[in-house]
Amino acid sequence: METYYLNNKEQNAEASTRPHEHELHRLGCRYFPSDVQEIGVFNSPESALLAAMIWAAMNRKDWNVDGCAFCCPSVNSDY
């Protein structure tokens, strides 16, 4: 089980394929951002991504959520 966080800052537009994209990170990721929203403790990135998408839909309706290519590659849509 690992703790997952959602970056509060929007992904750089040049690095993202979707507008208003915010990335999901595992605690300890080498690209862990400084401004985050804790999503919770989950046994898979897929479960954490679903929870992050629900959180974003309830709190930040214009956010798109995606996994970090480095710590959550199985839920990164850029690949």
Assigned domain for 67 exists: yes
Q: What is the pLDDT of residue 16?
A: 54
HSE-up of residue 65 (Cα within 13 Å, Cβ side): 29
pLDDT digits (tens, 9 = 90+) for 9-20: 988 755 556 668
Give the DSSP letter string of 26-79: ETT-TT--SSEEEEEEESSHHHHHHHHHHHHHHH-TT-EEEE-TTT-GGG-TT-
Report the domain count for the chain: 1
Confidence (pLDDT) at 39: 98
* Residue 47, in any domain of the structure: yes
User: Residue 22's domain spans which residues?
Assistant: 2-74
Determine, yes or no, domain membership for 14: yes
Q: What is the pLDDT of residue 32?
A: 97
Given a cut of 50, the residues of the chain with pLDDT beneath it are none
Q: Cα–Cα distance between 48 and 72 in angstroms, integer?
A: 10
Q: Considering the domain boundaries, does residue 50 fall inside one?
A: yes
